[in-house]
């Protein structure tokens, strides 16, 4: 509880997404996906066209994600099998050992350290120095996220790092946990559906930082963010206006 007359130390809660918001995960995925396609083609004895590799693998990836209950976190073996079925001269299919090896290499490639996006360090440093509680919220692995925060020297600007499936309830819970000392609440992220729409429904001021990764299921969807920024450090101007 905060005693009457005592100003809370933190006056704003800022929940920021990590992948493609603080760092460029898309580039890591692009390399890993092209590598996966090249290995599928190699196993089938086909020479892939390097020009269309990324487009082809992304179309398959998003077609699977759009219909799979785990969405973008579907098992990668499905992508290998889909590409093999699409590219291969039928009835040739990859055997389970080949699929397993390609998936293992793909998972290893995804562990590459992504580069920071522009303004990430300056923006988090500013928030940390201006009465903000900063939570990094990821739908990925929390330990990986915490490791990347440390690797990039950002951990000292962040109050906590949490993982979970994003939803209005997810954002409401974060808000409730910090209710005494952190109102209003701001959410920033690259995904219109996961970061902006869910947070808006939970009563947050929303900030969209567009990234290169735009899933096809949100294309053409109206953007209802309160603010759109081009660099993470522009979050300072948003918080100043609250």
The smaller minimum CB distance to Mg ion, of residues 83 and 196, is found at: 196
Stretch that binds Mg ion, among 109-117, 125-133, 182-190, 227-235 (CB under 5 A): 182-190
20 binds Mg ion (CB under 5 A): yes
Taking CB under 5 A as the criterion, the residue among 61, 81, 190, 197 binding Mg ion is: 190
| Spatial contact of 125 and 34, defined as CB atoms under 8 Å apart | no
Among the candidate windows 59-67, 68-76, 124-132, 187-195, which touches Mg ion by CB under 5 A? 187-195
Give CA–CA dist 102/120, Å, rounded.
33
111 C-beta neighbours (distance < 10 Å), count: 9
In the complex with Mg ion, which residue's Cβ is closer, 25 or 133? 25
CA distance 25 to 234: 20
Query: Per CB under 5 A, which region of 31-39, 83-91, 173-181, 185-193 contacts Mg ion?
Result: 185-193
Is the CB of 48 or the CB of 123 nearer to Mg ion?
123
Instruction: Decide: is 17 part of the binding site for Mg ion (CB under 5 A).
Output: yes
* 24 makes contact with Mg ion (CB under 5 A): no
| Number of chain residues interacting with Mg ion (CB under 5 A) | 4
Strand 12-17, strand 132-138: pairing: parallel
Kindly tell me which of 19 and 234 has the beta carbon lying closer to Mg ion. 19
Q: Return d(Cα 4, Cα 63) in angstroms, integer.
A: 55
Q: Of 88 and 210, which CB lies nearer to Mg ion in the complex structure?
A: 210
Q: Which part of the chain contacts Mg ion (CB under 5 A), choosing from 19-27, 45-53, 153-161, 223-231?
A: 19-27
C-beta closer to Mg ion: residue 10 or 194: 194
Q: Which stretch binds Mg ion (CB under 5 A): 33-41, 64-72, 97-105, 189-197?
A: 189-197
How far is residue 91's CA from residue 99's CA, in Å, rounded to a whole number? 16
The SS3 assignment for 138 reads strand
Please state the closest distance from residue 152 (CB atom) to Mg ion, in A.
Answer: 16
Within 13 A of 158's CA, how many CA atoms are on the CB side?
23
CA distances from 180 to 7, 122, 177, 184, 219 (A): 11, 27, 8, 11, 38
Q: How far is the CB of 14 from Mg ion (least distance, A)?
A: 15
Burial of 24 (0-12, 13-18, 19+ CB in 10 A): buried
Query: Which residues would be at the binding site for Mg ion (CB under 5 A)?
Result: 17, 19-20, 190
């Amino acid at each position: 509880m905060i005693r009457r007359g005592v100003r809370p130390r933190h006056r704003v809660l800022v929940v920021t997404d990590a992948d493609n918001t603080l760092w460029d995960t898309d580039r890591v995925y692009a390399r890993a996906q092209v590598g996966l396609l090249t290995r599928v083609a190699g196993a089938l004895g086909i020479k892939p066209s390097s020009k269309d590799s990324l487009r082809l693998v992304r179309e398959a990836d998003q077609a699977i994600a759009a219909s799979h209950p785990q969405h973008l976190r579907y098992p990668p073996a499905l992508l290998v099998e889909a590409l093999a079925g699409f590219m291969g001269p039928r009835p040739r299919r990859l055997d389970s050992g080949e699929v397993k090896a390609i998936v293992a290499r793909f998972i290893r490639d995804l562990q590459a350290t992504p580069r920071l996006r522009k303004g990430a360090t300056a923006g988090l440093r500013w928030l940390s120095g201006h009465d903000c509680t900063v939570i990094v919220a990821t739908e990925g692995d929390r330990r990986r996220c915490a490791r990347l925060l440390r690797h990039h020297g950002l951990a000292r600007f962040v109050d906590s790092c949490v993982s979970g499936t994003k939803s209005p309830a997810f954002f409401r819970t974060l808000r409730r946990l910090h209710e005494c000392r952190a109102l209003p609440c701001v959410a920033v992220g690259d995904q219109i559906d996961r970061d902006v729409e869910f947070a808006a429904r939970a009563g947050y001021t929303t900030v969209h930082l567009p990234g290169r990764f735009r899933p096809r299921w949100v294309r053409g969807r109206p953007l209802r963010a309160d603010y759109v920024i081009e660099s993470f450090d522009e979050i300072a101007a948003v918080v100043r206006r609250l």
